[in-house]
Amino acid sequence: PLSDMTKLQFKGGWNEVKSYPWVIKEFIDRQERWMMRRAPALTVASRSLNRRVLEARGSESGVYYVPNGVFAETTSSIYATTSSRSPAEIRREVHLPEGPLILYSGHFEPAEDPMFLCRVSARVAEENRAGLVLVGDGPEQQRVRDFFAQRPAARVHYFPRLPHTQFLQLVHACDIAAF
């Protein structure tokens, strides 16, 4: 019966995040499983997705794990170069204030709901006299700027998408990263 269908749990991806009607969740779930079984090759970026694909396919054939990000050796050498400078030096160079800094990096996209981040981070920044460092671009960026224009106590600093080494410098200069 339909009432039993609403109790189903659709695991993984947007089905866990979004409040789609159950029929849409069921469609997405079935479509994903169907494609996982029939695609000649799949790349997966997480161990949990890798397990899900292997379970759906019943075989490791044609499944390739390619992790998100970079390998530890690469990161440690870049970070070693970046961290040779103090956070205070980096802040002065890019004109960031003293005090706590919260970093967010991403693409300001309607599907990502940047206004949730805005509401939460504005409150945290105002209550803790922290600055916000927003790195990225996207179609919702003007909406984000308009939101923070009404909240000058949040002290927001905007940066476009940055080359990796410059981005790592900002990470080193900030106190908290929000994802």
Q: What pLDDT does 69 receive?
A: 64
Tell me the pLDDT tens digit for each residue of 22-46.
898 888 888 888 888 899 888 888 8
Query: Using H for helix, E for strand and C for coil, what is the string for 19-84?
Result: CCCHHHHHHHHHHHHHHHHHCCCEEECCHHHHHHHHHHHCCCCCEEECCCCCCHHHHHHHHHHHCC
CA atoms lying within 13 Å on the CB side of residue 39: 17
Q: State whether the Cα torsion 27-28-34-40 is positive or negative.
A: positive
Q: What is the largest CA-CA distance in the chain?
A: 64
Length of the chain measured in residues: 179
Q: What pLDDT does 11 receive?
A: 65
> Would you give the distance in Å from CA 30 to the centre of its chain?
26
Q: What pLDDT does 78 receive?
A: 56
In this prediction the pTM is 0.59
Q: What pLDDT does 75 receive?
A: 57
- Mean pLDDT estimate for the chain: 83
